[in-house]
Amino acid sequence: MNEILKIKNITKDYGIKGFKTRVLKDISLNINKGDFIAIMGPSGAGKTTLLNIMSTLDKQTSGEVILDKIDVSKVKNKELSKLRREKIGFIFQDYNLLDNMTLMNNIALPLALGKKKSKEIEDKVINIAKKFGLENHLDKYPYQLSGGQKQRGAAARSLITNPAVIFADEPTGALDSKSAYELLDSLEKVNRENNATIIMITHDPLTASYANEVYMINDGNIKCKLNKGNSRKEFYSKIIDMLASMGGDI
């Protein structure tokens, strides 16, 4: 297996001395190239904190984060910005598309910042747009797109540099059911066809069932892990059963 991300004995504390709250408690996790994992848990369980630490947006109190063989804690700020730009893709609940730019230019932006040649940029944008069903919308501005198209555009932008890992924080949270399915189908496709590595936070069992593995986090610890197998429908049922056994809603 080609290990792409390793976190080892991660803890995270908030507060000041004598009044500290430990949000993450000695979490370790190995993620290989091509993994598609979902992290679930109740509000306040620490899942977003864990995602932020894995994606270098936050720093752990103790432990190690190794991204593509690089110890993130030893990287200086300027180098860290370069690391994020080259090795990490983000998909947030908010689309974060620039209103004064076409979808083509929004998707192309990370490559343009990297000073790639225009023909290379255009070819890559068209290629990734096809995977997200957006090839006929590239000349449109964000206000001309549906919520689902905007989110798929944001996902395409996150993948355009072929990052080592894509982090998705509640990517379907602001979408209707049809738009959510379209986004998830597209992510499943790029995971399968491009061997893209995706780590996704979600509270929704149906969204989680598109991943290949689901980790449940609660009280700052990983409580259990489920593997998909051959059927998404069966996987969805396993996730529902897991949630029920752990006390209901998340």
What whole-number distance in Å separates Cα of residue 137 and Cα of residue 247? 44
Element containing residue 31 per DSSP (H, E):
strand 21-32
Residues of the chain predicted below pLDDT 70: 1, 247-250
CB hemisphere CA count around 120 (13 angstroms): 10
Write the pLDDT tens digit of every residue in 71-92. 998 888 888 888 888 899 999 8
Strands 36-40 and 198-201, sheet pairing = parallel
State the burial class of residue 176 (Cβ atoms within 10 Å of its Cβ: 0-12, 13-18, 19+): exposed
pLDDT of residue 247: 67
Q: How many residues does this entry show for the chain? A: 250
Domains in the chain and their CATH numbers? Answer: 32-58+76-245 (3.40.50.300)
pLDDT of residue 51: 94
pLDDT of residue 245: 81
What whole-number distance in Å separates Cα of residue 158 and Cα of residue 84? 11
Per-residue burial over 225-242, b if 16 or more Cβ lie within 10 Å, else e, is: ebebeeeeeebbebbeeb
pLDDT of residue 74: 87
Q: What pTM, to 2 d.p., does this model score?
A: 0.91
What whole-number distance in Å separates Cα of residue 160 and Cα of residue 10? 30
Q: Could you tell me where the DSSP H helices lie in the chain?
A: 47-54, 77-87, 103-113, 118-131, 147-159, 177-194, 205-208, 232-245
Contact status, residue 142 vs residue 95, Cβ threshold 8 Å: yes
Token readout for 52 is 């932020």
Token readout for 242 is 């897991």
What whole-number distance in Å separates Cα of residue 204 and Cα of residue 213? 14
**For residue 221, what are the β-bridge partners?**
218
Rounded to 5 degrees, what angle do the CA atoms 82, 84, 89 make? Answer: 140
